[in-house]
Amino acid sequence: MKTIETFDFKKKKALVRVDFNVPLNSNFEITDDNRIKAAMPTIKKILNSGGSVILMSHLGRPKSGFEEKFSLKHLVKHVSKLAGAPVKFASDCIGNVPMEMSRDLKPGEILLLENLRFHKEEEKGNEEFAEGLASLADVYVNDAFGTAHRAHASTAIVAKFFPDNKMFGYLIESELKSMDKVLREPSKPFTAIMGGAKVSDKILIIENLLDRVDNLVIGGGMTYTFIKARGGDIGSSIVEEDKLDIALHLIEKARKKNVKLILPVDNIVADKFDAEASVQEKPIDKVPDGWLGLDIGKESINHISEVIRDSKTILWNGPMGVFEMEKFEAGTKGVAMAIAEATSRGAFSLIGGGDSVAAINKYDLSAKVSYVSTGGGAMLEYMEGKELPGIKAIRG
Ligand code: AMP
């Protein structure tokens, strides 16, 4: 397999799939440029090695054809500033316009193509469309981890037109390295912490992790499906009635596999789902009628933090409570701090999934954990043990 580190890009045109799906405000200004920054090591490596870069990405969910608010032209200036190189813009990603611009592209220059999703062929994984993209360049680099779980033209299909010249960019390489470290060679004890609103989103990942972890901590809204399945009183807490059997199956699987399944023992209950609600602390299986559990309690935080601090590998996905509201953030904050502490003592910690990433950033701890994944859905699917089309297209 070719790698970005060793490939000779001199005088080569590299077609690089990036994830520039960044939020724009009503003046079309970028409000969070993390995804653009994440692609910079790959872009700079190619430019510094004497190559030129053709960037392709999607932005938002355009319905059909061009829409001003989803145009990648709004990113040109900022990409140029971050890359420290001139950026030309092709008003279409396919056809004569990018073809001619690609022909004129010189080493050290960047060409940014218009939003791939202005053509429905992109999401359909159309071969002809992929071949058209491929014809623009000599080599294909996929660095869009956030869309690696999609079999789209630019993320998977295009790779077949570069049988000998395809590779991952640095971002995907490091995402894979962190996830494989956790899935394939975790130092023990290995603790996974699963939270968030719904158990239904996390069943497959929990199943897969039960074959690998020593401790599985359950928190957040999904706790109550487990507690109800065990016969506890959960008041008006969030629950998935149709998943009670699955919760029992997971409890049983954990027992058989000798995995310590750690459910909260206490929780903060509120009289309504509101930042100003009245609250009290109650045992997890004694939520009063009409009240709802919105965070784990003190005893749970202490116990879970202790387990985390004694771990050598930690995977965290999903908040322990409604951390967006101050009254219900202690559990999530406690877990985030314990992970940072364990990391400072040498543990490897991987944080993934939109809301736990938001939490780790909220508490300013992203530099104190080992790796924060950039791809929510893609990371979840990889952790479920699925083969991602964008990864398979290159790894084979
Ligand atoms: P998810 O996208 O499934 O990871 O869920 C994240 C969301 O779950 C966050 O917005 C939290 O506010 C929410 N959440 C966490 N704990 C609870 C809870 N006990 N009840 C309701 N929602 C919760």
304-341 pLDDT, tens digit per residue, is 999 999 999 999 999 999 999 999 999 999 999 999 99
Rounded to two decimals, the pTM is 0.91
Expressed in angstroms and rounded, the spacing between residue 238 Cα and the centre of ligand 1 is 9
Q: What is the CATH number of domain 13-173?
A: 3.40.50.1260
Q: Which of 205, 294, 379 to mutate to test the pocket of ligand 1 (most atoms within 8 A of CB)?
A: 294
Looking at ligand 1, which atom is closest to the CA of residue 202?
3
Angstrom distances, CA of residue 226 to CA of 80, 239, 254? 50, 9, 13
Question: What are φ and ψ of residue 232, in 5° steps?
Answer: -80, 165
Identical fold, 13-173 and 186-383: yes
Q: Which of 266, 316, 355, 383 to mutate to test the pocket of ligand 1 (most atoms within 8 A of CB)?
A: 355
Instruction: Kindly report the protein residue whose alpha carbon is nearest to atom 5 of ligand 1.
Output: 196
Expressed in angstroms and rounded, the spacing between residue 84 Cα and the centre of ligand 1 is 40
Q: Which of 291, 322, 356 to mutate to test the pocket of ligand 1 (most atoms within 8 A of CB)?
A: 322
Instruction: Kindly report the protein residue whose alpha carbon is nearest to atom 4 of ligand 1.
Output: 196
Picking from 165, 170, 172, the residue whose alpha carbon sits closest to that of residue 2 is 165
Spatial separation of the C-alpha atoms in residues 372 and 175, rounded to whole Å: 9
The SS3 call for residue 3 is coil
pLDDT per residue as tens digits for the range 136-186: 999 999 999 999 999 999 999 999 999 999 999 999 999 999 999 999 999
Spatial separation of the C-alpha atoms in residues 60 and 21, rounded to whole Å: 6
Distance of alpha carbon 49 from its chain centroid, rounded? Answer: 29
Which token pair is 158?
């295009």
| pLDDT tens across the length of the chain (396 residues) | 899 999 999 999 999 999 999 999 999 999 999 899 999 999 999 999 999 999 999 999 999 899 999 999 999 999 999 999 999 999 999 999 999 999 999 999 999 999 999 999 999 999 999 999 999 999 999 999 999 999 999 999 999 999 999 999 999 999 999 999 999 999 999 999 999 998 998 999 999 999 999 999 999 999 999 999 999 999 999 999 999 999 999 999 999 999 999 999 999 999 999 999 999 999 999 999 999 999 999 999 999 999 999 999 999 999 999 999 999 999 999 999 999 999 999 999 999 977 898 999 999 999 999 999 988 889 999 999 999 999 999 998
pLDDT of residue 124: 97
Which token pair is 376?
């929510």
Expressed in angstroms and rounded, the spacing between residue 268 Cα and the centre of ligand 1 is 14
Question: Can you name the CATH fold of 186-383?
Answer: Rossmann fold (3.40.50)
Domain range list for the chain: 13-173, 186-383
Looking at ligand 1, which atom is closest to the CA of residue 322?
12
Instruction: Kindly report the protein residue whose alpha carbon is nearest to atom 18 of ligand 1.
Output: 221
Instruction: Kindly report the protein residue whose alpha carbon is nearest to atom 15 of ligand 1.
Output: 321
Task: Spell out which residues line ligand 1, taking CB within 6 angstroms.
Answer: 196-198, 201, 220-221, 238, 293-294, 318-319, 321-322, 324, 353, 355
> Any idea what DSSP says for residue 111?
E
Expressed in angstroms and rounded, the spacing between residue 15 Cα and the centre of ligand 1 is 39
Instruction: Kindly report the protein residue whose alpha carbon is nearest to atom 10 of ligand 1.
Output: 322
Max Cα-Cα span within the chain = 70
Expressed in angstroms and rounded, the spacing between residue 55 Cα and the centre of ligand 1 is 36
Residues 6+ apart with CB under 8 A from 67: 60, 118
Residues 6+ apart with CB under 8 A from 57: 17, 18, 19, 20, 21, 72, 113, 115, 116, 144
Q: Catalytic site residues?
A: 35, 198, 354, 377
Expressed in angstroms and rounded, the spacing between residue 355 Cα and the centre of ligand 1 is 8
Expressed in angstroms and rounded, the spacing between residue 359 Cα and the centre of ligand 1 is 12
